[in-house]
Amino acid sequence: MALTVLMLMRVRNLFAVIVLFGIYSFLMATVLVALDAVDVAMTEAAVGAGVSTVLLLGALHLCKSREAKPAHRPWLPLAVALSTGLVLVYGAMGLPDFADPLSPIHAHVVPRYLQNEVQVPNVVTAVLASFRGYDTLGETTVVFTAGAGIIALLRRRKKVENDRKDRV
């Protein structure tokens, strides 16, 4: 994965960048499988590696296939990214150990979720669709809004183009 990221930074050909993004997503999906988060891994593989790769390729079709040389030296963004990363790592050191049953997140509502009063064998589905139904409704609305926004943006552009064609 680290190798993929390093190559992503170096490569200037956008087609290669998109393929590397796909590879990165697949690797991320395997990491998630290793962490026993199969549902998320599935989403990552389908969205990250599948659909978004195609969408990026579609976008690439509309623009040049080589990245422009950056106008500024990368030191300031690099410093910001590195320091943010360091702060995050420092913060992560304060988190409870991975899979510690006594950590606060497992002591609060999780026992009730795991009692599984809705009797759906896949707890992830139970939590997403039933216990956290409002959240998922919000997420669906976000997806819908994204779609509506894209329709609004790309369609209007097309209409303007058509008008221009009509005038000419």
Q: Which of 75, 154, 164, 166 binds other proteins (CB under 8 A)?
A: 154
Enter the tokens of residue 108. Answer: 């609060």
For 30-84, the DSSP string reads HHHHHTT-HHHHHHIIIIIIIIHHHHHHHHHHTS-SBPPPPSS-SHHHHHHHHHH
In whole angstroms, how close is the CB of 165 to other proteins at the nearest point?
10
Question: In the range 90-149, which residues lie near other proteins by CB under 8 A?
Answer: 117-122, 124-126, 128-130, 133-134, 136-137, 139-141, 143-144, 146-148
- Pick one of 95, 107, 114, 150: the residue that binds other proteins (CB under 8 A): 150
- Other CB atoms within a 10 A radius of the CB of residue 18 amount to 19
Q: How many residues bind other proteins (CB under 8 A)?
A: 47
Query: In the chain, how long is the greatest CA-to-CA distance?
Result: 71
Cβ contacts of residue 26 below 8 Å, gap of 6+? 45, 48, 49
51 binds other proteins (CB under 8 A): yes
Would you state the structure tokens that stand for residue 89, as one six-digit string? 């790592």
Rule CB under 8 A: say whether 46 interacts with other proteins: yes
How far is Cα 116 from Cα 111, in angstroms, rounded to an integer? 9
Contact string 58-97 vs other proteins (x = CB under 8 A): xx-xx-----------------------------------
Which residues make up the interface to other proteins (CB under 8 A)? Answer: 38-39, 41-43, 46-47, 50-51, 54-55, 58-59, 61-62, 117-122, 124-126, 128-130, 133-134, 136-137, 139-141, 143-144, 146-148, 150-151, 154-155, 157-158, 161-162
